[in-house]
């Protein structure tokens, strides 16, 4: 007990020396507090941010895996691609039985051509606003061949993209507010009611209104005519610039997106399949004139853990390695954290440097202090104080000074960490945005748009600021740093104390 009392007394009696050491620790504490706060914010945003949002994901062919497989086995990647067809609805529904899946919905997409009285909004004639689609939509790749269709191919590209939804949850662009029904109502999800939603632009372009009928044809067999009733008209709220892709395919233009129920499109597809003509092309491949469709499944997960567990589940349920589970939500969120992650890396390096430099200064200061206090050590041991008690007293002194400096540093650090972190963060965001804009500009896209192709990601909303940074974890980490620094800097002192012989010190002084 007297050792601690002695330590406290020594700290106050040797104020000059202790203030000097305290100031070094204070600088280390403030710097560490800022660095740790940034790291803590980044880590919190990474974990809690994702836990707050509902995650959607899908299963798709992993091209990277296929490429590696092709390279490893020496087989043709094209052949592997053709073998790895999209999953069927039944397969997707099977994977949806995983306990980690909160909800599952699906869409059916097809490309259809114009019929009598209906013209697609042409991007050649009109530079139109386009929306950014956030859900898997119809195939946009066009085929050069008009009639000869491979069974595994996507068929001839039509003028419109027709998407059939299994339920309201599947209509993510309407949920997010990108699209909004302005008049009329939604089609039926339960029955094939042959009604649809069309864009305001398409309606205006063709003079259509609620209750009007539109005619669409199978691009592979123009005699197959489908008639749909306009049940509702929607508008898009996100305007994006014209895209090069839209000049080649009107089906890629968001204005030419027609939405309907899954059952309606399924009925159209079924009808087309029943009247399809089979044939063989010049290469000997089997062809069909049936309407080409593609099914996509979207899984929703209540949190990140469920999403990660689902990945394991599907592998256990037999999903081949050539398929992968992806989530645009997770990717987008991770992208939005990019500046913060950069800052986190910077903070880590800064922290290590501060600790290394600060720690070294402290070690040197402590050694100098020990040399200065050699006489005191000599006297204490000469009057019978055990060396381990002397060491303990000196370490306790170090702890007292460090603790006070850490507490002060944490207070100051907590106050300045948020503005400092935000200032650094905005610099990072600005730097990344400038880099992106420069890249876009180099490709002649201009502006801040990322393009208007459906399915393409919108500009990432980077995390621009953090609110509260210094929490109990940071305080505990700082105390840990304090303990570490005190022990490290006391190591030198310990060696000196253990080496000193009281008689030598005292007789040398005499």
Partner 1 sequence: MSVLKLENLSYTYQGAPIKVLDHLNYEFENGKIYCIMGKSGAGKTTLLSLLSGLTTPTDGKIFFKDQDISQINKYNYRSQMVGVIFQGYNLLPHLTAAENVQLSMDISEKIFPDKVRHGFAALAKVELGEEKATRRILKLSGGEQQRVAIARALSYDPEIILADEPTGNLDGETQEGIITIFKKLAHEENKCVIIVTHSPEVAKAADVLYELTPVS
DSSP state of 169: G
CB of 509 to partner 1, least distance (A): 7
Q: Which is nearer to partner 1, 30 or 400 (CB)?
A: 400
Q: Which is nearer to partner 1, 12 or 274 (CB)?
A: 12
Residue 10 in contact with partner 1, rule: CB under 8 A? yes
CB of 477 to partner 1, least distance (A): 35
Question: Phi-psi category of 27—alpha, beta or left, where left has phi over 0 and alpha has psi -120 to 50?
Answer: alpha
> Residue count at the site for partner 1 (CB under 8 A)?
23
Q: Which is nearer to partner 1, 10 or 486 (CB)?
A: 10
From residue 154, give the alpha-carbon distance in Å to each of 74, 110, 293, 464: 26, 9, 8, 42
The shares of helix, strand and coil residues in the chain, as percent rounded to the nearest 5, are: 55, 15, 30
> Interface residues for partner 1 in 319-378 (CB under 8 A)?
376, 378
Q: Which is nearer to partner 1, 13 or 442 (CB)?
A: 13
Write down the residue that tokens 């402590």 correspond to: 366
Tell me the window of 4-12, 45-53, 208-216, 437-445 that interacts with partner 1 (CB under 8 A).
Answer: 4-12
Q: Which is nearer to partner 1, 117 or 375 (CB)?
A: 375
Tell me the window of 76-84, 250-258, 275-283, 500-508 that interacts with partner 1 (CB under 8 A).
Answer: 500-508
Residue 52 in contact with partner 1, rule: CB under 8 A? no
Q: Which is nearer to partner 1, 196 or 493 (CB)?
A: 493
Tell me the window of 278-286, 304-312, 421-429, 502-510 that interacts with partner 1 (CB under 8 A).
Answer: 502-510
Spatial distance between the Cα atoms of 50 and 422, rounded to a whole number of angstroms: 21
Tell me the window of 6-14, 429-437, 463-471, 489-497 that interacts with partner 1 (CB under 8 A).
Answer: 6-14
Q: Which is nearer to partner 1, 379 or 404 (CB)?
A: 379
Question: Phi-psi category of 444—alpha, beta or left, where left has phi over 0 and alpha has psi -120 to 50?
Answer: left
Q: Which helix (H) or strand (E) holds 379?
A: helix 374-382
Please pick, from the candidates 78, 247, 371, 509, the single residue that binds partner 1 as defined by CB under 8 A. 509
Residue 8 in contact with partner 1, rule: CB under 8 A? no
Go through 359-379 and write b for each residue having 16 or more CB atoms within 10 A of its CB, e for each that does not: bebbbebbbebbeebbebbbe
Number of helices followed by number of strands (H, E) in the chain = 16, 12
Please pick, from the candidates 14, 46, 324, 440, the single residue that binds partner 1 as defined by CB under 8 A. 14
Q: Which is nearer to partner 1, 22 or 155 (CB)?
A: 22
DSSP 344-377: HHHHHHHHHHHHHHHHHHHHHHHHHHHHHTHHHH
> Interface residues for partner 1 in 18-47 (CB under 8 A)?
none
DSSP 247-313: HH-GGGSGGGEEEEEHHHHHHHHHHHHHT--EEE-TTS-EEE-SPPEEEEEEEEESSHHHHHHHHHH
> Interface residues for partner 1 in 377-406 (CB under 8 A)?
378-387, 389
Cβ neighbours around 197 below 10 Å, total: 24
- Interface contacts to partner 1, rule CB under 8 A: 2, 6, 9-10, 13-14, 376, 378-387, 389, 502-503, 506, 509-510
């Amino acid at each position: 007990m007297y050792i601690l009392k002695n330590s406290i007394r020594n700290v106050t009696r040797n104020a000059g020396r202790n203030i000097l050491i305290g100031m070094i620790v204070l600088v280390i504490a403030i710097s560490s507090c800022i660095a740790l706060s940034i790291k803590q914010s980044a880590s919190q945003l990474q974990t809690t941010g994702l836990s707050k949002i509902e995650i959607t994901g899908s299963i798709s062919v992993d091209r990277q895996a296929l490429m590696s497989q092709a390279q490893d086995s020496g087989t043709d990647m094209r052949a592997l691609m053709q073998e790895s067809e999209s999953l069927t609805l039944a397969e997707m529904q099977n994977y949806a039985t995983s306990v980690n899946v909160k909800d599952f919905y699906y869409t059916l997409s097809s490309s259809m051509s114009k019929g009598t009285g209906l013209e697609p909004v042409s991007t050649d004639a009109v530079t139109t606003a386009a929306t950014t689609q956030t859900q898997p939509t119809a195939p946009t790749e066009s085929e050069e061949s008009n009639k000869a269709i491979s069974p595994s191919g996507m068929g001839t590209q039509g003028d419109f993209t027709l998407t059939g939804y299994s339920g309201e949850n599947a209509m993510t662009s309407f949920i997010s507010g990108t699209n909004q029904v302005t008049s009329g109502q939604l089609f039926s999800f339960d029955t094939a009611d042959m009604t649809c939603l069309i864009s305001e632009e398409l309606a205006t372009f063709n003079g259509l209104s609620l209750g009007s009928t539109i005619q669409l044809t199978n691009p592979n067999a123009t005699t197959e005519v489908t008639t749909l009733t306009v049940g509702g008209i929607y508008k898009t709220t996100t305007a994006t610039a014209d895209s090069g892709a839209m000049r080649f395919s009107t089906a890629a233009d968001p204005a030419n997106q027609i939405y309907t129920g899954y059952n309606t499109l399924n009925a159209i597809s079924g009808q087309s399949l029943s009247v399809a003509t089979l044939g063989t092309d010049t290469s000997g491949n089997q062809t069909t004139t049936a309407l080409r469709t593609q099914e996509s499944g979207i899984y929703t997960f209540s949190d990140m853990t469920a999403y990660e567990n689902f990945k394991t589940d599907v592998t256990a349920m037999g999903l081949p390695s050539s398929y992968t589970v992806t989530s645009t939500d997770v990717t987008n969120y991770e992208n939005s954290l990019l500046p913060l992650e950069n800052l986190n890396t910077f903070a880590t390096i800064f922290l290590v440097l501060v600790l290394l430099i600060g720690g070294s200064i402290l070690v040197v200061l402590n050694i100098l202090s020990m040399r200065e206090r050699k006489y005191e050590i000599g006297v204490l041991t000469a009057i019978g104080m055990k060396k381990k008690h002397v060491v303990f007293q000196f370490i306790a002194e170090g702890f007292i000074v460090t603790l006070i400096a850490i507490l002060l540093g944490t207070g100051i650090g907590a106050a300045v960490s948020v503005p400092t972190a935000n200032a650094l963060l905005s610099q990072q965001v600005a730097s990344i945005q400038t880099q992106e804009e420069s890249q876009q500009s180099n490709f002649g896209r201009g502006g801040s748009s990322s393009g208007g192709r459906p399915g393409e990601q919108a500009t990432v909303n980077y995390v621009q600021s953090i609110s509260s940074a210094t929490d109990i974890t940071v305080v505990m980490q700082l105390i840990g740093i304090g303990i570490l620094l005190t022990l490290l800097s006391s190591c030198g002192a310990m060696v000196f104390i253990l080496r000193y012989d009281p008689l030598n010190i005292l007789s040398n002084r005499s």
